[in-house]
């Protein structure tokens, strides 16, 4: 790696060996991000494997950090992966951020391992009790940020308060929402609905300096009433996986119905597909890249294990944008300087 040259673009380290489609899709997406002038990209992993996926003529804006160790497996225990982090492409990519050689890191690998390695290597923003995974959900009225999506299955109310604060910062700084509407996911809209955790979180967020809009139910997540939805990692991960499964099943049923509907039905589906294509593009999760790990002393983006080139390209873009907008400092300011509720309503 060349430490003497540094462009004005953010430098994003990409774990080239993590994910179901590594290294090919990872390398192709990272190379596209570099060609688009989004970032200087450092591909971390086996040099020979990386070079086989990307001809030399397509490597402008790319560096390769050669790591020969066995990559972190998708089912590897987080503690085991953390112990051997320095030998893996994921661990080395995170350490490049720690050492100031990269501004952000992206991985499609094992989420639990990535979280553990990043936490140990980078540490938390001062005052943050628990980092959280924030997932951008594509919705018809605009994207919705859900956190925590799986990092913390058992939460205290004060954790949910901080998730709301960090989600507010991300929505403002990265998603460009001037006054994000923050809500708690519960079983009813009334302040007294839910378990003791959500009731207490409602009270804490009501007194915080965010634009708190109260409780929302599961059916309300996608209807445009809120921008940031706060919950614990157990519920958040269930919501995320249920949504993925429902969409997969729905499209499979539609395809089956269309294929058995005869020539007129197929023609109608073809005509309708042209009208629905813009909506499908808006709802495509790959447009939003990956999920940031909020609350760490560095920009860390974890994307879906089955991510392909488009998702990797957009994850690099999300990482670069977070660097340029000063996300880590914005979260530090939000956590370190609690204020009385102000007119952000």
Tell me: the pLDDT tens digits for 187-225? Answer: 999 999 999 999 999 999 999 999 999 999 999 998 889
Judgement on whether residues 279 and 138 belong to the same structural domain of the protein: yes
Residue 231: pLDDT over 60: yes
Judgement on whether residues 140 and 123 belong to the same structural domain of the protein: no
Question: What is the reported pLDDT for 216?
Answer: 95
Percent of the chain at pLDDT > 90 equals: 65
Residue ranges making up the domain that contains 86: 1-128+295-345
**Whole-angstrom Cα distance, residue 43 to residue 66?**
8
Q: What is the mean pLDDT of the chain?
A: 87
Phi, psi of 62 (to 5 degrees): -110, 145
The domain that contains 29 carries what CATH number?
A: 3.40.718.10
Judgement on whether residues 68 and 166 belong to the same structural domain of the protein: no
Judgement on whether residues 340 and 278 belong to the same structural domain of the protein: no
Judgement on whether residues 11 and 140 belong to the same structural domain of the protein: no
Question: What is the reported pLDDT for 276?
Answer: 59
Judgement on whether residues 333 and 319 belong to the same structural domain of the protein: yes
**Whole-angstrom Cα distance, residue 45 to residue 179?**
40
Cβ contact 197:160 at 8 Å: yes
Q: Give per-residue pLDDT as tens, 324-336.
A: 999 999 999 999 7
Question: What is the reported pLDDT for 265?
Answer: 67
**Whole-angstrom Cα distance, residue 148 to residue 160?**
8
Judgement on whether residues 267 and 332 belong to the same structural domain of the protein: no
Q: What is the mean pLDDT of residues 11-24?
A: 94
Residue 1: pLDDT over 70: no
Q: What's the structural domain count of the chain?
A: 2
**Whole-angstrom Cα distance, residue 345 to residue 336?**
21
Calculate the dihedral angle through the C-alpha atoms of 111, 115, 117, 119, rounding to the nearest 10 degrees: 180
Judgement on whether residues 141 and 250 belong to the same structural domain of the protein: yes
Judgement on whether residues 121 and 172 belong to the same structural domain of the protein: no
Judgement on whether residues 183 and 259 belong to the same structural domain of the protein: yes
Q: Which of 224-228, 256-260, 282-286 has the highest mean pLDDT?
A: 224-228
Pick from 16, 12, 6, 91: nearest CA to 317: 12
Judgement on whether residues 277 and 196 belong to the same structural domain of the protein: yes
Q: What is the mean pLDDT of residues 231-252?
A: 82
Question: What is the reported pLDDT for 89?
Answer: 95
Judgement on whether residues 113 and 203 belong to the same structural domain of the protein: no
């Amino acid at each position: 790696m060349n430490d003497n040259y540094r462009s004005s673009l953010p430098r994003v380290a990409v774990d080239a060996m993590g994910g179901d489609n590594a290294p090919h899709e990872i390398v192709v997406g990272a190379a596209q991000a570099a060609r688009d002038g989004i970032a200087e990209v450092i591909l971390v992993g086996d040099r020979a494997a990386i070079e086989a996926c990307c001809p030399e003529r397509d490597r402008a804006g790319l560096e390769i950090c050669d790591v020969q160790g066995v990559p972190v497996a998708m089912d590897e225990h987080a503690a085991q992966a953390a112990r051997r982090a320095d030998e893996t492409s994921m661990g080395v990519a995170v350490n490049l951020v720690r050492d100031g050689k990269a501004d952000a890191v992206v991985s499609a690998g094992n989420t639990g391992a990535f979280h553990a390695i990043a936490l140990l290597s980078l540490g938390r923003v001062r005052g943050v009790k628990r980092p959280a995974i924030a997932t951008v959900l594509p919705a018809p009225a605009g994207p919705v940020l859900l956190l925590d999506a799986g990092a913390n299955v058992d939460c205290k109310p004060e954790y949910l308060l901080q998730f709301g604060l960090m989600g507010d910062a991300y929505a403002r700084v990265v998603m460009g929402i001037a006054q994000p509407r923050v809500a708690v996911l519960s079983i009813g809209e009334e302040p007294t609905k839910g378990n003791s955790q959500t009731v207490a979180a409602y009270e804490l967020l009501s007194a915080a300096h965010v634009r708190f809009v109260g409780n929302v139910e599961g059916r309300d997540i996608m209807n445009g009433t809120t921008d940031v939805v706060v919950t614990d990692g157990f519920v958040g991960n269930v919501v995320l996986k249920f949504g993925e499964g429902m969409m997969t099943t729905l499209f499979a049923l539609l395809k089956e119905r269309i294929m058995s509907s005869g020539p007129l039905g197929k023609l109608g589906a073809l005509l309708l597909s042209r009208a629905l294509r813009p909506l499908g593009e808006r709802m495509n999760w790959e447009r939003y890249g990956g999920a940031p790990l909020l609350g760490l002393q560095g920009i860390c983006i974890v994307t879906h294990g089955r991510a392909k080139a488009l998702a990797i390209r957009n994850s690099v873009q999300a990482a670069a944008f977070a660097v340029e907008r000063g996300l880590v400092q914005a979260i530090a300011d939000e956590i370190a300087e609690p204020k009385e509720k102000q007119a952000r309503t």
